[in-house]
Amino acid sequence: MDIEEGKERKKAVEIFCCYARKDQQLLLELKTHLTLLQRQSLISLWTDIDISPGALWEEEINKHLSKAQIILLLVSPAFMASDYCYSKEMKRAMEMHEHEQASVVPILLRPVDLEDAPFKKLQMLPKNAKPVTKWSNRDDAFEEVARSLRRIVKGLSQPNNAQQWLDEAQALHEAKRFEEALAANEQALRLDPNDGEAHFQKALILAKLGRSDEALSAGESAARLYLHRTAAYRIKATILLELKRYKEVIDLCDQAIKLNINDADIYARKGNALDQLGHKEEALEVYRQAIHLRPDDAEFYCSAALILSDLGRTKQFFLIRKRLLLMKSNSRYFIILTVTKKP
């Protein structure tokens, strides 16, 4: 998953404002302070001011209220006195909150008696439930509200299970944003500490960051969580490749081959290490063994073809290119060879 593509797919959090007409000026001041969140596509803010002329106002209000993820109650004496705000909008908002369909956030605009109010149990903004109009500078109050809403919105936007965090880590890894990838990976492991794939991905990220000992330790954790011993060898070999410790990769793969002579991935990792060390002929022979064991793996063919290109073996290079073209589902590797310098 491309990280920018992933960002585009994250929809802005929809916010509905419930307020009394007498407080419209304070509403407009609040909207001004939330403009940055809107420009950053973190929120979509709706109030009845946005109702188009000729539209059925109550229908529009119900539609936007029902799909809101955050509902702001702009609390004041006028709000508490309004039958529509208190008995309809606020009542519906609290039902949605109780059913976890939306988060209700009361914002205290003006001093008012809130004894036994249905939303009194909720965390109120600004901090310490100090009414906005009691602040010496209202901008300070609204800045506090905006910062708090940013935290709430980011909390709603974050992945909520280990696989989502792992997907995010993978996307960040592919985007070469390794520190961020590591942070996302740690979140995945916090939620599921026994996920072997998460430990494996962590090891690869740490290797990219040059943190060798930590990478190998994470690789060992991943290996322990896999049932097959050869899988543990594959994991460690992959990490050592990332660390450019090619001789250790070869030794490790030779040990793994003694355990299982039919593991194509082990041969491929050994071939990669030999190629990096400049042992082209040996690497080509090892890749041929991998292809023999798994003849439908386009990546093996591509790696072998690149070595043939380095060796100047034109005929064999083009034979593999032709083979890859016939493997329609693997056109990516054919493209790699198309842009590769020909022998």
pLDDT tens for residues 96-114?
888 888 889 999 999 999 9
Give the CATH number for residue 69: 3.40.50.10140
- The answer to whether residues 94 and 187 belong to one domain is no
Query: Sorting pLDDT into bands at 50, 70 and 90, what band is 2?
Result: very low
pTM above 0.75, yes or no: no
- The answer to whether residues 184 and 304 belong to one domain is no
- The answer to whether residues 22 and 121 belong to one domain is yes
The whole-angstrom separation of Cα 111 and Cα 79 is 11
**Average pLDDT of the residues in 50-60:** 66
Q: Are 313 and 325 in contact (CB under 8 A)?
A: no
Q: Which helix (H) or strand (E) holds 46?
A: strand 43-46
- The answer to whether residues 207 and 267 belong to one domain is yes
Integer CA distances (angstroms), 275 to 285, 296, 343, in order: 11, 21, 17
Integer CA distances (angstroms), 123 to 98, 106, 155, 156, 225, in order: 14, 7, 15, 16, 42
- The answer to whether residues 129 and 225 belong to one domain is no
Residue-wise pLDDT for 282-313, tens only, equals 999 999 999 999 998 888 988 998 898 889 88
- pLDDT number for residue 190: 85
C-alpha torsion sign, points 112, 118, 120, 125: negative
Residue-wise pLDDT for 175-186, tens only, equals 988 888 898 888
The number of distinct structural domains making up the chain is 3
- The answer to whether residues 63 and 204 belong to one domain is no
- Domain residues for 300? 296-343
- The answer to whether residues 134 and 185 belong to one domain is no
Q: Are 291 and 304 in contact (CB under 8 A)?
A: yes
Burial of 310 (0-12, 13-18, 19+ CB in 10 A): middle
- pLDDT number for residue 335: 45
Query: Sorting pLDDT into bands at 50, 70 and 90, what band is 41?
Result: confident
Query: Sorting pLDDT into bands at 50, 70 and 90, what band is 50?
Result: low
**Structure letter (DSSP) for residue 342:** P
**Average pLDDT of the residues in 49-55:** 61
- The answer to whether residues 315 and 331 belong to one domain is yes
Residue-wise pLDDT for 66-97, tens only, equals 889 999 999 999 999 999 898 889 999 999 88
Scored b (16 or more CB within 10 A) or e, 77-111 reads: ebbbebeebbebbbebbbebbeeeebbbbbbbbbe
Q: Are 237 and 269 in contact (CB under 8 A)?
A: yes
Does residue 334 carry a pLDDT above 50? no
Q: Average the pLDDT over each of 102-116, 247-261, 320-334 and give the range with the smallest value.
A: 320-334
**Residue where a domain terminates, one of 245, 269, 290:** 290
The whole-angstrom separation of Cα 204 and Cα 240 is 9
**Residue where a domain terminates, one of 157, 187, 208:** 157
At 313, list the tokens: 């073996």
Strand order in the sheet with 13-18: 43-46, 13-18, 70-75, 103-108
Query: Sorting pLDDT into bands at 50, 70 and 90, what band is 191?
Result: confident
Give the CATH number for residue 205: 1.25.40.10
Q: What is the mean pLDDT of the chain?
A: 85
- The answer to whether residues 114 and 19 belong to one domain is yes
The whole-angstrom separation of Cα 136 and Cα 132 is 9
- pLDDT number for residue 1: 42
- The answer to whether residues 22 and 97 belong to one domain is yes
Question: Which residues are registered as beta bridge partners of 106?
Answer: 73
- pLDDT number for residue 108: 96
Residue-wise pLDDT for 258-284, tens only, equals 888 899 999 999 999 999 999 999 999
- The answer to whether residues 255 and 305 belong to one domain is no
**Residue where a domain terminates, one of 157, 177, 203:** 157
Residue-wise pLDDT for 119-142, tens only, equals 988 889 998 889 999 999 999 999
- The answer to whether residues 271 and 240 belong to one domain is yes
The whole-angstrom separation of Cα 272 and Cα 267 is 9
The whole-angstrom separation of Cα 10 and Cα 123 is 26
